[in-house]
């Protein structure tokens, strides 16, 4: 039997891989023409990929219609793709939906590695996400945390220990930070001619964030059969186009509104002012996309992380107590600021363990091999796509003890530098590593720490089992319902509430 397997393997290498002495990657068996598509019909391929890695190892290939996708499931092989072999795997393979929604890769995160990418990455780091920019935006983050605390105290004072929808409060405040970074101020409503009138902040959030995240996971079967691109698929294409046009109309309205402030001489510390005055080589559409990118990226993944962290802390009272003890011994009732985060190792461990177990970006948007290369000792021919299964890397039993368990203590062991943002694969790695990791850490840690300092948290009844996820990022399927019990009365607290 083993001999037959060896002969078959030899033949596969001979025919698939003529120029390389390296073997071809193991293949997950599938059906003719459609390959493994039926096995992936749920919109959570990262779970199936991780299951397959137990049988086929950390690297294997699948067939998605006409494409061969090499799937990577361990930190070592993922890092090899992101760092060592990056120059051969640096282009993006976008679905039809993502091509429309990213307006043909006109975003930092979706662009290929080229001069455009280098330029716009410089812009986003200098104005929004780099250390100095984040220091300039401190007031927005602090106002956000103060507003959340105020709303939660109001809730606790008026409802007598009833559960609160954590997401509803948090997402609205996070969106405020996103708008302030992009436009210098929050927005209550805006007139959008194309939509026939003035739309509310709630609608702006839906059109700029929620609808886009839903549209991004729409699957057009033609993605898997490029030779059938000519076949019309109007329903899906129109849906995505509508999402894109509504986004474009709202962004345009916000930009026009902002130009009126500029004309009146009002100065605001924000990204749009920089892009309009300095980024001369960019078109209006490109400026709109770059601004929108900071809004959607700020409003989504940090919400995912903070919501899951509050879920885990509410479930594990002992861990919540440990965090509270740390906050009391180091901070008493003082405000948590970015300068003091490095003194709070357990808070950092809560953040990283949540990123590990609930990887907000479970799979890196597909990359494309534009030349022959190798990964994990296997030959990878040009034309293959590469899927980096971050969820799989962060749940790898060979790297993490009891990966299913949420155990912040694992990050307190001496081998981790407390301020290293890349302890897990959650933020990716190499040249395309997350540009917003610092912002995500500052917002999530300040929020989680302050909320545990001020309230004792427990899960609402039945919430324990609500662990299902949905979406492109791993959103909790059902918004978190938790009971916040104030540790002290709101009058005694050192909070500086700034309403919108």
Pick from 183, 411, 427, 457 the residue near ligand HEM by CB under 6 A: 427
Indicate the SS3 state at residue 324.
Answer: helix
Taking CB under 6 A as the binding criterion, the range among 49-57, 160-168, 237-245, 420-428 that sits at the site for ligand HEM is: 420-428
Restricted to residues 432-451, the positions that interact with ligand HEM (CB under 6 A) are: 432, 434-436, 439-440
Q: How many residues of this chain bind ligand HEM (CB under 6 A)? A: 26
Which helix (H) or strand (E) element contains residue 380? strand 378-380
Is 458 a binder of ligand HEM (CB under 6 A)? no
CB of 400 to ligand HEM, least distance (A): 17
Choose the binding region for ligand HEM from 53-61, 310-318, 354-362, 400-408 (rule: CB under 6 A). Answer: 354-362
Nearer to ligand HEM, 24 or 181 (CB): 181
By the rule CB under 6 A, 354 interacts with ligand HEM: no
- The stretch among 53-61, 183-191, 267-275, 359-367 that binds ligand HEM (CB under 6 A) is 359-367
Nearer to ligand HEM, 28 or 148 (CB): 148
CB atoms within 10 A of CB 342: 10
Quick one: which of 348, 360, 449, 484 contacts ligand HEM (CB under 6 A)?
Answer: 360
Return the number of the residue (56 or 292) whose C-beta is nearest ligand HEM: 292
Provide the minimum distance between the beta carbon of 293 and ligand HEM in the complex, in angstroms, as a whole number: 7
Is 428 a binder of ligand HEM (CB under 6 A)? Answer: yes
- Which stretches of 25-105 are assigned E, i.e. beta strand? 59-64, 67-72, 91-92
Residue nearest to ligand HEM (CB): 436
Q: Which is nearer to ligand HEM, 50 or 298 (CB)?
A: 298
Asked if 426 touches ligand HEM (CB under 6 A), the answer is yes
Least Å distance, CB 206 to ligand HEM, is: 19
* Contact indicator for 486, 454 with CB cutoff of 8 Å: yes
CA-to-CA separations, 180 to 272, 298, 336, 437, in angstroms, rounded: 10, 11, 21, 19
Select from 46-54, 185-193, 320-328, 355-363 the region that touches ligand HEM (CB under 6 A).
355-363
Strands 385-388 and 367-368: antiparallel
Site for ligand HEM in 265-304 (CB under 6 A): 294, 297-298, 301-302
Q: Is 305 in the site for ligand HEM (CB under 6 A)?
A: yes
Closest CA to 407 of 494, 484, 298, 316: 316
Quick note: the x/- pattern for ligand HEM over 80-119, rule CB under 6 A, is ----------------------------xx----------
Q: Is 346 in the site for ligand HEM (CB under 6 A)?
A: no
CA atoms within 13 A on the CB side of 446: 27
Q: Are 436 and 271 in contact (CB under 8 A)?
A: no
Altogether, the residues listed in the chain come to a count of 500
Are 287 and 279 in contact, with CB atoms under 8 Å apart? yes
Burial class (CB in 10 A: 0-12, 13-18, 19+), 18: exposed
122-141 residues in contact with ligand HEM (CB under 6 A) are 124, 129
285 vs 200: CA distance, rounded Å:
23
Nearest 10 degrees: Cα torsion 136, 142, 148, 153? -170
Task: Decide if 273 contacts 262 (C-beta within 8 A).
Answer: yes
434 is in an annotated binding site: yes
Give the nearer residue to ligand HEM in terms of CB position, either 291 or 483: 291
Interaction of residue 121 with ligand HEM, rule CB under 6 A = yes
Distance in Å, CB of 373 to ligand HEM, minimum: 17
> Which strands, in side-by-side order, build the sheet including 164-165?
164-165, 481-486, 455-459
For residue 327, give both structure tokens: 């906050």
Nearer to ligand HEM, 23 or 418 (CB): 418
Strands (E), 207-359: none
Closest CA to 95 of 53, 65, 60, 58: 65
Does position 361 interact with ligand HEM (CB under 6 A)? The reply is yes
C-alpha dist (Å) from residue 147 to 169, 184, 382, 426, 447: 9, 18, 52, 28, 11
Beta strands in 182-290 (DSSP E): 189-192, 197-200
Task: Give the nearest distance from C-beta 240 to ligand HEM in angstroms.
Answer: 21
C-alpha to C-alpha distance for 412 and 408, rounded to whole angstroms: 7
Q: Which is nearer to ligand HEM, 59 or 124 (CB)?
A: 124
Could you say whether residue 353 binds ligand HEM (CB under 6 A)? no
| Token pair for 382 | 């040009």
Residue (253 or 364) nearer to ligand HEM, CB: 364
Q: How far is the CB of 355 from ligand HEM (least distance, A)?
A: 6
Task: Confirm if 180 and 137 have CB atoms less than 8 A apart.
Answer: yes
Pairing relation of β-strands 197-200 and 189-192?
antiparallel
Contacts of 4 (CB under 8 A, 6+ apart): none
Nearer to ligand HEM, 199 or 434 (CB): 434
Minimum distance from CB of 108 to ligand HEM (Å)? Answer: 4
Q: Annotated binding site, which residues? A: 434
Q: Annotated binding site for heme, which residues? A: 434
Binding site for ligand HEM (CB under 6 A): 108-109, 121, 124, 129, 294, 297-298, 301-302, 305, 355, 360-361, 364-365, 390, 426-428, 432, 434-436, 439-440
């Amino acid at each position: 039997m083993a001999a037959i397997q060896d002969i078959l393997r030899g033949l596969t290498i001979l025919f698939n891989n003529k120029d390389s002495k390296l073997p071809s990657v193991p293949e997950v068996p599938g059906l003719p023409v459609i390959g493994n598509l039926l096995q992936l019909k749920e919109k959570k391929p990262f779970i199936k990929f991780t299951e397959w890695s137990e049988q086929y190892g950390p690297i294997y290939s699948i067939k998605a219609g006409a494409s061969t996708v090499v799937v990577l499931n361990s930190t070592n092989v993922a890092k090899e793709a992101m760092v060592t072999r990056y120059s051969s795997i640096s282009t993006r393979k976008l679905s039809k939906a993502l091509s429309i929604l990213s307006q043909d890769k006109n975003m930092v995160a979706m662009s290929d590695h080229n001069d455009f990418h280098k330029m716009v990455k410089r812009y986003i780091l200098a104005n929004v996400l780099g250390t100095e920019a984040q220091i300039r935006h401190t007031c927005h983050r602090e106002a956000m945390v103060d507003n959340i605390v105020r709303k939660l105290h109001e809730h606790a004072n008026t409802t007598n220990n009833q559960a609160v929808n954590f997401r509803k409060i948090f997402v609205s405040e996070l969106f405020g930070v996103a708008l302030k970074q992009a436009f210098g101020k929050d927005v209550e409503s805006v007139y959008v001619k194309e939509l026939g009138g003035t739309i509310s902040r709630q609608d702006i959030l839906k059109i700029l964030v929620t609808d886009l995240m839903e549209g991004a996971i729409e699957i057009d079967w033609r993605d898997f059969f490029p030779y059938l691109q000519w076949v019309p698929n109007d329903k899906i294409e129109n849906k995505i186009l509508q999402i894109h046009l509504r986004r474009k109309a709202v962004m345009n309205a916000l930009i026009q509104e902002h130009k009126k402030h500029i004309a009146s001489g009002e100065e605001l510390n924000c990204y749009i002012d920089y892009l309009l005055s300095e980024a001369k080589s960019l078109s209006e559409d490109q400026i709109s996309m770059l601004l929108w990118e900071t809004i959607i990226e700020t409003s989504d993944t940090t919400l995912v992380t903070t919501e899951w962290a509050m879920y885990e802390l509410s479930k594990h009272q002992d861990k919540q107590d440990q965090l509270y003890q740390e906050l009391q011994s180091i901070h008493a009732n003082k405000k948590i600021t970015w300068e003091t985060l490095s003194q709070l190792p357990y808070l950092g461990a809560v953040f990283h363990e949540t990123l590990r177990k609930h990887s907000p970006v479970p799979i890196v948007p597909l990359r494309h091999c534009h030349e022959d290369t190798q990964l994990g000792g296997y030959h990878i021919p040009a034309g293959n796509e590469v899927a980096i299964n971050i969820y799989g890397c962060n749940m790898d039993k060979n790297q993490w003890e009891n990966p299913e368990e949420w155990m912040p203590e694992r990050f307190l062991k001496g081998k981790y530098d407390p301020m290293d943002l890349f302890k897990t694969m959650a933020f990716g790695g190499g040249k395309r590593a997350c540009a917003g990791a610092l912002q995500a850490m500052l917002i999530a840690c300040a929020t989680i720490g302050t909320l545990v300092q001020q309230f004792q948290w427990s899960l609402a009844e039945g919430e324990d089992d609500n662990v299902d996820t949905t979406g492109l990022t791993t959103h909790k399927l059902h918004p978190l319902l938790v009971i916040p019990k104030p540790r002290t009365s709101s009058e005694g607290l050192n909070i500086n509430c700034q309403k919108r």
